[in-house]
Structure 1
Amino acid sequence: MIKGFSVGQRLVRSGLGILLTLLMLVPLIQDSRPVLLERFESDLYDLRLRQFLADDQDPRIVIVDIDEASLAEQGRWPWGRATLAKLLNKLFDEYGVAIVGFDMLFAEADRNVPFEALQQWLDSRPATAGSELSTQLDSLNPDRQFAAALEDRPVVLGYVFDRSTQQLQVGDPGSPVVGAGQLQGIPVPRASGVVASLDAFQATGIRNGFIDNPRVDADGVYRRVPLLQEYQSQYYPSLALAMILALFEEDQVIPVTESDGSDSVLVAVDAAGISIPVDNGGAVLVPYRGRQGSFPYVSATDVINGRASADVLEGAIVLVGTSAAGLLDLRVTPVGSRYAGVEVHANIIAGILDEQINHRPDYTLGVELLQVLLSGLLLSLLIPRTSVLVSGLLALVWVGMLSGFNLYAWQALQWVIPLGYSLFLVVLLYLFLQITGYFFETRNIRKLEGQFGQYIPPEVVAELSAQGDAVQLSGESREMTVFFSDIRDFTSLSEQLSPQQLTRMMNIYLTSMTAKIHQRRGTVDKYIGDAVMAFWGAPLEDASHARHSLQAAMDMLAVLPELNRQLVAEGLPEVSVGMGINTGQMNVGNMGSSFRMAYTVMGDAVNLASRLEGLTKFYNCPLLVSDETANSVPEYGFRYIDRVRVKGRFEPVDLYQPVGKRSELTPVQLTGIDDFSAGVRTYQQQRWDEADAAFRRYLRSDKDDYCAQMYLLRIAESREAGQQPWDGIYCHRQK
């Protein structure tokens, strides 16, 4: 198909493709991608993430799970602080864990109703009567028991920041990890309030980390979590980051920024010598290790009752959280739609420890712009120059290369390079360029049909469209074969008919003749009254132009009896025709004036074919061809008619009458061809007796042949005149 487009059309298509590419760059530069493409990019991110999930568990981090079994055995949530204190004491004293993080809030005091009633009773008694008992009861306070369990132990408590207009101020988030002003101008999430643990728990010197996520994607999926949030111009760590700092006994993180012109861009935070890549908002892409269960789970009730395996818990980093559906801590993640929120923190801790966190480097936009620009230029330049199949394969190969580079960057470099926008552009450009190609091709075909549709067969029009620039229409010299035909005595026939009858007769005749020309890949040049002019070898190259022309003429002669029967059936006269064919060099192309152009042929070879058609009446042969045509179709048997010089042409030409394919002729016909041809040649040599004998032999098989009888008369006249100087050429002054 591609050959059917001109250079200009291919340039237009390429230009439109490049323009579309440039327009597609605008949303990237402005960071305003369409929502659907953002969702597509997120889906591709999830797909890549799932391709590299691990099958084993990470034993370093253990999740103490408040599961359904724990709720059934220990009672409904929330549990009393005494129970949690017992859990904490078991973890450190009996199981020897390294650190404990609580993925939960302790913002309210434990309201034990019996204890409060007893305290009110004691308050109503004389002070001296209950002082000893009051001291005893104070020691039984659940919050005091939990605070005692927290004291001097590596524990991180969770809290949440508030972004509502209420600006809640419950508790203290603890110590900031980045000093004021260090991240000025960087879009770290900012909170207006906080809901933290009771001051009684904070007094123990424990650490805190926020457990809320203000960076959940628009589709509700947990793909990224901020490591820092700003509150009152100070920057506080997430639960995972706070646990990393506690493990290495560090109090601060060091922001790593790079200059972006006049602004600074946050690219990482350094925690205890570990560089953690983040985006400019301080968020980390959660390095999901696998589906839920990628870390060992231990039931909280088993820990409280001493049934848990010491081998699992000893020296482990412990996160206390819940997988119970009723406690509403299940998240939608790329690796599961009901994923325990506590395991999100576990994945971040593991990724930080392993320094295996995929991230978008600060030059991601540049890489994506280059990726999109290369895709647009490559496809815009190549697709208009290749076929649909080749361009489809090209697009698939390019998609494969983009995907391969993307996966290599993901796995080897830990880069998350956006892919969706580039893939969308590839598909869009492919469809756009193919559609524009279809419209151009349709336009080309219609143009060709308008120019040639009435003169050449539809399949040749299709080939013309396929070849496009390979077809020369402006004019050239080419070896071709030209054909002329004429109805004998047309003037007298037309005088006998009414205009309607004449029109009907010509429509029947020309339709039948044109059909035979088209069937043999010929081009009808024009109708000149009753005459038909056609040629072979243009606009498409045709190595067998002489053969196809001769076959068409023979087909016309073969169909003429049936055509005459149709004419007679409609009350119209029969017709007989004369046809001439010549092969040679001629000029072909669009010729004419500024008012009208026509695709036609000109030259001496064309004029000769017209003269041959005129000589058919003289020799009483329905079809005459030149020696050039006869020599080009050796499989046909030709009767050598004469060597003549026609009007307006000095060079003589040999005339032949085609009889049929040699393979289909009878021995009598083949012998007759040889006898007649021998008679003509001996006649041209003035060997009258041999020529006379040859023609008489021919007449035995065809006693009414006009040409043989004509030569016998010529021989008789020549004998009377005697031997005269002669070159054997018969001169026709009128034709």
Structure 2
Amino acid sequence: MRSTLHPHWDSAREMRSILLRFVAFVILLANLLLGGNEGAEGMHSIVVLSYLVISIASVATAPHLPDRSWLKTLFVVLDALLVALLLYAHILAGPVTENHNLTTTSLVVAFILLNHVGLKLDRRLVLVFSGIVLVSWVAMLAITAVRHHTADVASLLAAFFNQDLGLTVSFAFTAFAIYLLARDHDRTRKEALKADRRRLNLSHFFSPLVVAELQDGGVGLGLERRNAAIMFVDLRDFTSFAETAPAPELAFVLAEYRQLVSQTIFDHGGTVDKFIGDGVMAVFGQPKPTAHDADRALACALDLVDALNDWKNNNLLKGYPALDVAIGLHYGTVVGGVLDSGCHSEFTVIGDAVNVAQRLEILAKSLDASLVISSDLVARLRMPVADATWMSLKSAALPGRRLPIDVWYLLGAMDSRAVEHVPAYETGVSQTARQRSVFQSSPPAPDAGTV
């Protein structure tokens, strides 16, 4: 399995595997040249030459090994067969009366090739290699016991359970330990890949700080009832633009818009709940509510008004359509967390507060406003509000909702930073949101006016 977290780890592991392979070749060659293999020189020569050919082929195909598991398995099987051939040269190839004890160098080659397979950190390959070697080794020892001792069962068992079998058990124990390490590594990497995919998915919806808390397990994702600020952002006349715009232009405008909105939301510690075409639903206070959720939500909304106004002007210069924004913002109680729907699960919030925020965004379009906020959100503000010119509307009727709601709104044609040139209204006096005692302590006036 190729690591998707750090691909260079795979190449480094393959390099170590190649180096260890040639260490084994040097030991095999030294064992052949230094002697100590009386009666088995021919077999050792075949093993050395075969191993050299296999090693060269393995190095030549190394770039393709991560993508072709059968090729990697083939080389492991060939290595195991060479070890079995080496065992045969010492155990069965000679006459019955000949001493068939393994030499130290021969044993080292078997263990080195086992470690070589272990470096691949693939438990399946460890099982294949060790299984072939152990079955061959035990079978040869059994055949040797039968050839040397045929008088009775006791002498046969005594011949089988000797020092050579102890070496076989040592090899089996080493293979089992390497298998456990490969299994643990496989589990760890799968968990790391799963965590990496989870972090990537979370990063599409949460700010980096929230993602870090979720990854550390400090915040629960179960459904809970909490207070939160809900924001709906939508572009006016986007549907008309989408009906006639070329697909590449539509994709570019929508991607740029979503990137701008989501980044602004993340900058203020909010969560992108979902994208619905050109609509964006954001939440402040989920999955972890704070005392300043309303302040962060309003600051984000004001920044979005400014940023999307600049984006609209920039689009005009590029020849793209000028699309105005409509934002609805409300504060209330929601039920939020991971909603399991069988084959699909999503992190979302539900409740009346969500419906109110969406209807405030619809109201913004009918009022020709860029931003509409509820008096419930205003009542939750703790910090002074940035300069903006507000209109108040008492008992505003929301579509599909029986009870009216008091709201404040910014006219769409205005930049939220422009407070010097405010048009005169028949029913009110121009004031700015800095007058916190008026904006945040008093309910909206019965008649419409600027505040």
**TM-score, structure 2 normalization:** 0.49
Q: Which structure: greater strand fraction? A: 1
**TM-score, structure 1 normalization:** 0.31
Q: Which has the larger radius of gyration?
A: 1
Q: Which structure: greater helix fraction? A: 2
